[in-house]
Amino acid sequence: MPANHRYSARTAFLLLACTVLASCSSLSGMSASSANPINWVTPYKVDVIQGNFVSKEQVEQLKTGMTRDQVKATLGTPLMASLFHADRWDYVFTLKRQGVEPQSYKYTVFFKNDQLERFEGDAMPSETEFIAKLGNRRKLGEVPVLEATEEQLNKAAGKSKPAAASTAATSASVPAGAPAASYPPLESPKQ
């Protein structure tokens, strides 16, 4: 190997080593997770909705003295009904979305002699507020009117006629005595 190539290879290696060492010292101020290139890419995470959503409108329908069946018809099946707390039903709802802190709601109903005695819990969102939270983050433009004018309809009808004429022309190019194309069956015959 010629001497000048050896000299340039050594110089390049020395510069590379200095660059690596300099970058290591600048990474010392960063956390270990942010320095890892694997953490630079964030994968898509699915929105997770767990539990029974209880809306503000459903809570407003609750009245003391309701039976268990009436409460179940109003709020739905409880997420947690314990053997140790037979007179207590817990409705827990959690919403986890990417880039947003998890939101958790809890509502508890208490029974005495199989009738609703009291109920308490977090301030529940209304159905419209909940739907707004689930809404897509992307804001799309205005939806165009999906109606065609007479001129557009006539123009579209005019374009469809040549297409029909071209199919007739291709069928006319096949000789009359030629056998029809035969394709093998998609499934084997049953034996």
Would you say 51 and 92 are in contact if contact means Cβ atoms under 8 Å apart? yes
pTM of this structure: 0.48
Kindly report each contact of residues 57-66 with a partner whose C-beta sits within 8 Å and lies 24 or more positions away, as own/partner. Answer: 57/126, 57/127, 58/124, 59/107, 59/119, 59/121, 59/124, 62/109, 62/116, 62/119, 63/116, 64/115, 64/116, 64/117, 64/118, 65/115, 65/116, 66/115, 66/116
The domain of 29 spans 11-40
Confidence of residue 51 (pLDDT cuts 50, 70, 90): confident
One domain, residues 35 and 101: no
One domain, residues 114 and 72: yes
Would you say 106 and 80 are in contact if contact means Cβ atoms under 8 Å apart? no
One domain, residues 62 and 33: no
**CA 35: distance to chain centroid?**
29
Mean pLDDT for 28-57 is 72
One domain, residues 77 and 95: yes
Q: What is the CATH number of the domain that holds 116?
A: 3.30.1450.10
Most confident of 2-11, 25-34, 62-71: 62-71
181 domain-assigned: no
21 domain-assigned: yes
Last residue in a domain, options 116, 134, 152:
134
What's the total number of domains in the chain? 2
The structure tokens listed for 94 are 């959690």
114 domain-assigned: yes
